[in-house]
Structure 1
Amino acid sequence: MENLTQLRFKLNAAKQRNKRLSENMAKLPGIIGIIGSTPIVDVNTKSAELQLIPFTQLHKYVGSYYAKIKKVLLAEGVIVRQNGMWHLREDLQKDGIAVYTTGRLGCYYVYHLKWTPKGVAFIKDIINHKTNH
């Protein structure tokens, strides 16, 4: 049987976890508002057919390296980094080139910008256009 000190320690740890979760859940409406109209996909329920490529893996599909892709997309105004998140330019948000994923490991307050195959083709065109000029 556990002693009283161990039980108090576990109870205190659980209270701290619940407090952090509540604080992060309170931030959720603000985060969703910042994201704009980019679709949000829960990774726990997404279909297997939906192929999403993380920003850090784009180099495998685009044929350029990560730093150059990021530099070109920032220069072209396609993406911007705000509040620790990548944001897609507003006029591109409904084009289906990217989505935000959430729900990874049950954390419903963390969002990651991921690219669809249409978005990969879009980025390839931008990189090729930039390289050829």
Structure 2
Amino acid sequence: MAKAPLVTLADDGGNSIPTLRASAGAAAYGQTLNQFTGNPVLSTTAATTVALFTVPAGQTFYLTDLYVGANTASPFLVQVTANGAPIFTGYCKGDTGPIDMPGMETQPQAPGGSQVSIVLGQVAAATTAAYYLGGFSQ
């Protein structure tokens, strides 16, 4: 005997589509997986901003996973922004306190048309950071 799905959605044609999505696994019906990685050299004179993508019109981007690490003992500010407004803010201390947030329960969001960027704060001495952001547009 088949088990009933935990969640059932209907597509635009009225068809029932069983759906189960937990954390940032494979995309569910109507979703597009967005993943971004990089390892910029951080500046000693200003924040380093990396433009990631523009959310498609009529959709919302949901940030589900975030990692930021660095080879520094000094903390620096990390922000994920939508059109320059922070949707996530935290501090990274590379040697003992990276930002490691897989499967965020409360997912920061960016509306359609927004430019999503990661901003890595100014550091005291030149250093390299690494980041991974994952989420869905729907």
Task: Report if TM-score (shorter chain) is over 0.5.
Answer: no
- More helix per residue: 1
TM-score, length of structure 1 as denominator length: 0.26
Indicate the structure (1 or 2) with the bigger Cα radius of gyration. 1
Instruction: Give the TM-score taking structure 2 as reference length.
Output: 0.25
Relative contact order (C-alpha < 8 Å, sep 6+): which is higher? 2
